[in-house]
Amino acid sequence: MAQPPLSQRIQRLERELEVRLFERTSRQVALTKAGTLLLPEARDLLARAGTLRAAARRIRDGESGLLRAALPPDIAGATVAALLTEFARRCPEAELELHELSTAEQLDRFGASELDVGLLHHPCDVTGLDLGPVLRRDLGVLLPRGAPAAEHAEVPLAALSGHDLVLFPRSGAPALYDDLLTTCARGGYTPPAVRHGRGASFVRGLVLSAAAVAFAPRDARDDDTHPDLVWRPLVGAPLAWRHSVAWPRGHGDTAAQAFADAAEHALRTTADARPDTPTRPTHLRPAAEYWL
């Protein structure tokens, strides 16, 4: 916007509010005390305007009341059930269309405007997205009960040497995949081979048939009920899933926020998740590492 119309709009706003927002000199323009005090309110109005536009867009496209959401495949059934229950309580007027999608698949759908909200694994490219709080789920190891490492109450990564590793396909979350293998190597574990699986039953089958190991969050400890499998925590908790709910920037309407709150509640109550520190957005580094 050119300077004259901008100045005119500011003057019009000052007349409507009956306060002076800016001190103007020939050299600079600075906020007055009133302008400083009103700035947070103005920012809140802009955010709410973005929410209103998102809701209007969904109504225009015939999707009023429909929230297209996604969860990654590793989320346990108890967590999914808790999320659905909590979302229905928080936002009973919305219809939830829930999909099982990897982080990469979610990012693709966000880019194509085919997804309203999703639970992502970090690290990943969050350009153009707003994020909820980052939650951490420490990973342990699922291994054959007869493996020597199963004798440890807490397993060092180096004790897994010689075992193949069952991991999700790299295409689902490339940066996370690389980060896990890098951390394993630093901890003294380089698997002879990496096998790929997504479903819990398929992964357990590979662990049993190939004498392999797999990393799984603490809520997978229920697999101890299988006579030939055992779950153990890792010494120092070097590996973790880090999640946060994401939605297109500026489009976090009431339904999306309700999903974010419901997901956080479900993960904390059923999946032993806890807030990560600090709770800032994640950013990719060139070596597939990340910082918070």
What is the DSSP secondary-structure string of 80-139? HHHHHHHHHHH-TTSEEEEEE--HHHHHHHHHTT--SEEEEEESS--TTEEE---EEEEE
Predicted pLDDT of residue 263: 96
C-alpha span between 239 and 184 (Å, rounded): 8
- Measure the CA–CA gap between 72 and 80, rounded to whole angstroms: 10
Half-sphere exposure (Cβ direction) of 245: Cα atoms closer than 13 Å: 23
> How many Å apart are CA 259 and CA 270, to the nearest integer?
16
Give the whole-angstrom CA distance, residue 119 versus residue 69: 8
d(CA 144, CA 22) in angstroms, rounded, equals: 69
Residue (of 111, 108, 99, 109) closest to 75 by Cα position: 99
**Cα gap 76→136, rounded to integer Å:** 15
Res 133: pLDDT = 92
User: Strand 117-122 and strand 66-71: pairing?
Assistant: parallel
Block residue for tokens 């973005």: 50
Helix H or strand E segment including 212: none
Q: How many C-beta atoms lie closer than 10 Å to residue 86's C-beta?
A: 19
What pTM was computed for the model? Answer: 0.70
- Cα Dmax for the chain: 81
Tell me the pLDDT of the chain (292 aa) as tens digits. Answer: 667 888 888 888 889 999 999 888 878 888 999 889 888 888 888 877 766 676 666 556 544 578 999 999 889 889 999 999 999 999 988 889 999 999 999 999 999 999 999 999 999 999 999 999 999 999 999 999 999 999 999 999 999 999 999 999 999 999 999 999 999 999 999 999 999 998 888 888 999 888 899 999 987 655 445 788 999 999 999 999 999 999 999 888 889 999 999 999 999 999 989 998 654 445 544 444 434 3
Other beta carbons within 10 angstroms of residue 160's beta carbon come to 25
Q: Say which DSSP state 273 is in.
A: -
| Angle formed at CA 102 by CA 182 and CA 191, multiple of 5 degrees | 30
pLDDT number for residue 6:
82
Give residue 167's pLDDT: 95
What is the model's pLDDT at position 189? 96
- Two tokens at 164? 């193949």
202-209 long-range contacts, CB within 8 A, separation 24+: 203/142, 203/166, 204/142, 204/229, 206/166, 207/142, 207/143, 207/144, 207/166, 208/144
